[in-house]
Chains A and B, each alone.
Chain A
Amino acid sequence: DIQMTQSPSLSASVGDRLTITCRTSQSVSNDLHWYQQKPGEAPKLLIYGSSNLQGGVPSRFSGSGFGTDFTLTINSLQPEDFATYYCQQTYTSGTFGPGTRVHFK
């Protein structure tokens, strides 16, 4: 099985530029996607195929990476961006990363 790693949490302030990383134990090509989840809600797709912005998602979100190392960047963090972020690979089945909680500094 492909293993996924993410930093467990990050502290930030409104207006910060934030980078969240995701690493896979073997190459997943660009079959890596990012989700945002807030308490009590279903996950929301932000980025698919490593770098493609899902429709309706603000342009301050961007993704990059290929193979085993990926990043989600949030430019100018907004109050509504404090949430948990998950990466998911679909190169082989559909493993999720453990999540990164973004909280107020």
Chain B
Amino acid sequence: QVELVQSGAEVRKPGASVKLSCKASGYSLTSFALNWVRQAPGLGLEWMGSINTGNHNTKFSQRFKGRVTLSIDTSANTAYMAVSGLRSDDTAIYYCARPITSYTEDALDIWGQGTAVTVSS
């Protein structure tokens, strides 16, 4: 069964960093790209960025450039997203999701269950 399993909830203080994981199960992570999407409480979906799991190339929404790092560990079949300089408005559910085709950005048909990140002093 193809699925993405994400790490558990995190709580951080403003200015701190967090690193979230997304483990692929039922397929090889390098067969498809991975996208990251977040959703603040009561708000809509926000596309953050993507990683080509073959060549490790990354692309980011302008508002996350310089603050978000995407990486993969092929031996663990796991992708990671690190966010630095956390602010209270980074409080959100963070999802990893797999595109439906081999394109880096495409319709997202497999989603992780989400990781809740709370930023609070």
- Taking Cβ atoms with an 8 Å cutoff, the residues of A that contact B are 1, 31, 33, 35, 37, 42-45, 48-49, 54, 84, 86, 88, 90, 93-99
Contacts and interface: CB of A to CB of B under 8 A. Distances in A.
A95 B44 CA distance: 11
A84 B44 CA distance: 9
B105 A45 contact: no
A88 B100 CA distance: 13
Contacts of B108: 33, 35, 43, 45, 88
Contacts of B106: 31, 48, 90
B113 A88 contact: no
Given A33-B107, A54-B109, A43 B45 contact: yes
A37 B111 CA distance: 12
A56 B113 CA distance: 19
Contacts of A84: 44
B112 interface: yes
B44 A88 contact: no
A37 B97 CA distance: 14
B53 interface: no
A94 B114 CA distance: 18
B80 interface: no
Given A37-B45, A94-B61, 6 more contacts: A33-B107, A42-B112, A43-B45, A44-B111, A90-B99, A96-B44
B65 to A, nearest CB: 11
Contacts of A90: 99, 103, 105-107
Nearest to A49: B107
